[in-house]
Chains A and B, each alone.
Chain A
Amino acid sequence: MYRSALSAITSKSRRPLRSPFFSPFRAETPIISSVSPYPGPESRLPIPSNRFSSFRDPPSRASFAPSICFPDWSPGLRRRVVSRTRGLCGGSGDRESLEYDVVIVGAGPAGLSAAIRLKQMCLERNADLSVCVLEKGPEVGAHIISGNVFEPRALDELIPQWRHEGAPIEVPVSSDKFWLLTENHSLQLPSPFDNKGNYVISLSQLVRWMAMKAEEVGVEIYPGFAASEILYDENHRVIGVATNDMGVAKDGSKRETFQRGVELKGRVTLLAEGCRGSLSEKMIRAHKLREKVQGQHQTYALGIKEVWEIEEGKHKPGSVLHTVGWPLDMKTYGGSFLYHMSNRQIAIGLVIALNYHNPYLNPYDEFQKFKHHPAIKPLLMGGTVLEYGARTLNEGGFQSIPYSVVPGGAIIGCSAGFLDVPKIKGTHTAMKSGMLAGEAAFRTLVEGATMETYWDNLKKSWIWEDLKRARNYRPAFKYGLIPGLAFSALERYVFRGRLPLTLKHGKPDHEATDIASLHAPIQYPKPDGQISFDVPTSLYRSNTNHEHDQPAHLHLRDSTVPELVNLPLYAGPESRYCPARVYEYTPDENHRLKLHINAQNCLHCKACDIKDPRQNIKWTVPEGGGGPGYTIM
């Protein structure tokens, strides 16, 4: 049906584009291109907009070059591209195509571990594989944020000599405390953690060091490029990813600096995007990876963190503190952390599970409130905040691990979800999963094995063992804080994961939100500018920046849902859980509240993608190089 349209439009094929040929939701259409072999899963969601329905049926395959990746443009422009495809081989439309043996999306602990392991095996066995790592942040480490008390188990396997190679892992844990907080008091409890042999680090700095090590062994890392699309061939095999177009204006038209995205073809593609990765989620849905292993849905928490520089006498390097209780109530799972790093710096944060019920809960304000606790405030007095940031993390553990292999690729790290919840550590398991995938990729490319070896080795590794042992801690908290703590104690000292049952997670996070009429608005104290701060001040400290003139990367599947559902039923929870104040309900000219999306503020935490009650908000990746600029997080 497109061929007739083709001939009608070929004369226009050379016209320079000035008018908005691009739908403002141009980045939305990758749903189709990466899901094209599987039209089913997307149809669950209501897509009333005509714009999308016109793309539902893909054109006949015969007219395309081997890589079927539909450029995400409006129909008129796509036809124009189709007419040019025949002349090119390799790239679809007019996108340049680069080929690598392995393409990794995400330069985080998992992605870099996979790359380093792969190159190490190449050196050992005298093979030569090209490895490319794409990173959406402006530099490696810019989007890395984590507590972090680091268990060096995986690093010991990957780079055994890390102590002598300048790794920024210098502060061993010196004390490990656990407090139950009430509004005015703190009660010391026995620590459920065993952090002997672990280190307090800045993961952002560690990842930067790992990137240096990766480049030393020949890995190519390209920060500032966001992979926005998965590429498939006609056999529904993953053949790579494509970066998004740069220089598209807010209205969808091409700016002066427009650059078409680039296709990176890989014989093996690894997705290491971190928790709730945009491409990983698409892949999991499209290939039904959770159903394949009877896995449950993933559950999440939102962590909000600040790094402070405190007064000299108060700083105890290696001191580790975790708290539960105040300011969170009995029904909300979460807790705080306070780690002393080096250089008088401390990492302090609050992690709140996203299955909280009260739509009036504001995680950012809870964190600011927490800092005023009489046991915490004295430490922070006289200090300055260096950086601020927020990110969601996985809490689903063992029950939520999806099948992590697809034809042509695999999902590693937090994108699959290997965080050990009772330990609250995910770095070491992410790194190990990366290493296993790297090894599997090597065997696939050089020895003719398949990527299934990754999954098999995963199940035989200590990741599986650890996560299995830890599987019942988190689900027990659905009965409340005290039952949860009691069960945790039993698990830790008595059962140690050997119970013959596996507790299941409760409702998915977005379904757990009660309607607003069941709760009262929470009055949060005003920030005092010394210990607690308002969102704009904190946002400034995250070094967040996005190119202003680009389409909003946060898409509403149905633009009427915020005003018809979120606001009346749930009192607009997105205006509360977003740690960057992206979503605001402001009155328009008719004095009706309307949702305003400040996409530039986005910290790429993915909380909105997870928590929106109707799953109406879709986080897609903005132009590469934007987002937060973490350096010591």
Chain B
Amino acid sequence: MQKRGREEERERSEAKTGHRLVGARSGSEMKVMVAVKRVVDYAVKIRVKPDKSGVETSNVKMSMNPFCEIALEEALRIREAGTAAEVVAVSVGPAQCVDTLRTALAMGADRAIHVDAGAAPVLPLSVAKILKALVQVEQPGLLILGKQAIDDDCNQTGQMIAGLLRWPQGTFASKVVLDKEKQVATVEREVDGGIETLSLDLPAVITTDLRLNQPRYATLPNIMKAKSKVIKKVTPAELNVELKPDLEVVQVAEPPKRKAGVIVSSVDELIHKLKNEARIL
């Protein structure tokens, strides 16, 4: 039943775009697309801007989101295992995203695409729409993303794009096993209760969690080679995606400073304080 629905959808999108969904089917030509995000480096101590409009990002070290690195590493391992032929790295953001994509190329991605969305931060739904348009062009058999970005902690993009594409999703993946012939991905997910194992028909969306793998270092020779690789640049307009900001950041403030504790002299005093000062009882 699910298969029939998908076949119909394929025919419909084939008719719309004129592309044959060849790549998604045959494993030997399977492409893996990895979406990466340029964020404030995790080791940096962030500060709120004095006007409370956001976090200070000027003069601050930026690097690839750690979960995106894990996603890229997983894609590279899938290609090295022979299950996929090509790894394409994609990033949506301002011009400096190119640095992040170069790191992705240095780690081993075959191609990179930069979607220049200008300087304003792009929210998950917009990213999902852009990725959907790219997926329809590139036809990957698998889309891997990090589970969330460490700057906004949204944890939405993977799920949204799976919904837009109507693809199965395996989020918080801690283990991914692909079966080329059956075109199935077995994903172990870290959920609150433990580990959940899902079987997804390809093409699918996977978002990666911390324990999936240890990303490799980009070696110096690879970094040198990556400098000369071409990064394709597109704009949202070319993809027929309209970026409508549906959220507005009203204020960003630091968490209130932790007040010093008070040592109480008796249980009665404790109860008195909890009742009258903290108003918990």
Contact = CB atoms under 8 A, between A and B. Distances in A.
A544 B215 CA distance: 21
Given A98-B221, A222-B220, A225-B220, A631 B61 contact: yes
Interface string B193-237: 000000000000000000000111101110110010000000000
A343 to B, nearest CB: 9
Given A225-B220, A255-B214, A631-B61, 19 more contacts: A98-B220, A98-B224, A138-B61, A139-B61, A220-B224, A246-B217, A247-B217, A257-B214, A257-B217, A259-B217, A262-B220, A386-B47, A540-B45, A543-B43, A543-B44, A543-B45, A629-B43, A631-B59, A632-B59
Contacts of B44: 543, 629
A616 B60 CA distance: 37
Contacts of B221: 96, 98, 262
B217 A222 contact: no
Contacts of B219: 96, 259, 262
Contacts of B214: 255-257
Chain B contact residues (Cβ within 8 angstroms of A): what range? 10 to 19
20 contacts: A96-B219, A138-B43, A138-B63, A205-B59, A220-B224, A220-B227, A222-B224, A247-B217, A255-B214, A257-B215, A257-B216, A262-B220, A262-B221, A386-B47, A543-B43, A629-B43, A629-B44, A631-B59, A631-B60, A632-B59
Nearest to A137: B61
Interface string B97-141: 000000000000000000000000000000000000000000000
A142 interface: yes
Contacts of B60: 631
Interface in A234-262: 243, 246-247, 255-257, 259, 262
A517 B217 CA distance: 50
A142 B61 contact: yes
A96 B45 CA distance: 36
A540 B46 CA distance: 11
Interface residues of A, number: 27
Interface in B237-272: none
A374 to B, nearest CB: 26
Contacts of A205: 59
Interface of A: 96, 98, 138-139, 142, 205, 220, 222, 225, 243, 246-247, 255-257, 259, 262, 264, 386, 540-541, 543-545, 629, 631-632
A632 B47 CA distance: 13
Contacts of A243: 220
B217 A138 contact: no
Nearest to B43: A545
Interface of B is mostly: loop
B64 to A, nearest CB: 12
A627 to B, nearest CB: 10
B41 interface: yes
Nearest to A540: B45
Contacts of A138: 41, 43, 61, 63
A260 to B, nearest CB: 8
A564 B221 CA distance: 46
Given A138-B41, A257-B217, A629-B44, A222 B223 contact: yes
Interface string B8-48: 00000000000000000000000000000000010111010
A197 to B, nearest CB: 26
A256 B77 CA distance: 13
Contacts of B45: 540-541, 543
Interface string B45-78: 1010000000000011101000000000000000
A165 B221 CA distance: 32
Nearest to B59: A631
Q: Which of A142, A544, A629, A632 has the most CB of B within 10 A?
A: A629
B45 to A, nearest CB: 6
A342 to B, nearest CB: 12
A14 B201 CA distance: 39
Contacts of B224: 98, 220, 222
A631 B220 CA distance: 24
Contacts of B223: 222
Nearest to A98: B221
Contacts of A629: 41, 43-44, 61
A543 B221 CA distance: 28
Q: Which of B43, B215, B221, B227 has the most CB of A within 10 A?
A: B43
Nearest to A542: B45
Nearest to B44: A543
A168 to B, nearest CB: 9
Nearest to B103: A224
